[in-house]
Amino acid sequence: MKKFLIIANWKLNGDFNFINKNINLIKKIDNSLNFCKLAIAPPYVYIDYIHNYLKNTSINLVAQNVDINEKGSFTGEISINMLKDIGVKYVIIGHSERRINHYENNNFIAKKFILTKKKGLIPILCIGETKEEKKQNITEKICINQINSILKICEVKIFYNTIIAYEPIWAIGSRKIADINEIEKTISFIKKYISSINQKISKSIVFQYGGSVNKDNINNLFQIKNINGLLVGKASLTIENFISLVKKAEKNIRLLRS
């Protein structure tokens, strides 16, 4: 059975002082885990530095973004080959902050997803609805459209052994997770949809939840049957709180699997 994957997404935060102060604490908690697995998504400029810290650990590196081009005159961009070269395993694709702040549409995100998969890295596809879309009761439609943008270009096998992170856009940064029943309903719907195309592929996908996850609400998330991991943002920046979150996750998974 796969371990429960917890990803710390630091976004545009952190510096050498933050890393030097906290990375050994993360390594220490990682050594005590049997049911959970950790991964860190730092800003680009610190990936190689952290990679050296994480040698001989099971903690993986995550890139927060990638360009659709492999090389060329694209000032300021980072290619999938560069990420692979410095030890990255996972790439976050389609985060709502990229969709909103950088105007990335489903088509563009699909290209990133496919390139990441073809180059042997694991994409973390973020999908979810806005507050207005939630009010219109079209959450499922929005999520399926985001998945279908990839299926229009590639066969469903492209999703084999990938990650889908359901992140309601309105919940991110709100300090409030979505309703537990709504999360389970949405993830179950997505899983069932992919299963209707190919059951084997659906079973291989890791389904995560993200959106204001913290140490105080994490226990509630384990009422949901279909999640295999968490994408943690702000709560990962205070390491003591993040470690508390990880310990609670480990305890919950142990109880569920005993």
Say whether 102 is catalytic: no
Q: For residues 84 and 78, is the Cβ–Cβ distance under 8 A?
A: no
Q: In 133-253, which ranges are E strands?
A: 163-166, 206-210, 229-232
- Measured over the CA atoms of residue 217, residue 222, residue 223 and residue 227, the dihedral's sign is positive
How buried is 193 (Cβ within 10 angstroms: 0-12 exposed, 13-18 middle, 19+ buried)? middle
Active site residue 240: no
Convert 213-237 to b/e letters by CB count within 10 Å (16 or more is b).
bbbeebeebbebebbbbbbbbbbbb
Place of tokens 């389904």: 207
State the Cα–Cα distance between residues 258 and 252, nearest whole angstrom: 10
Distance from C-alpha of 47 to C-alpha of 88, rounded to nearest angstrom: 8
Q: What is the DSSP letter of 158?
A: G
Beta pairing class for 36-41 and 229-232: unpaired
Catalytic residue among 95, 97, 129, 184: 95
Cα–chain-centroid distance for residue 148?
Answer: 19
Catalytic residue among 129, 167, 184, 250: 167
Residues tagged active-site? 95, 167
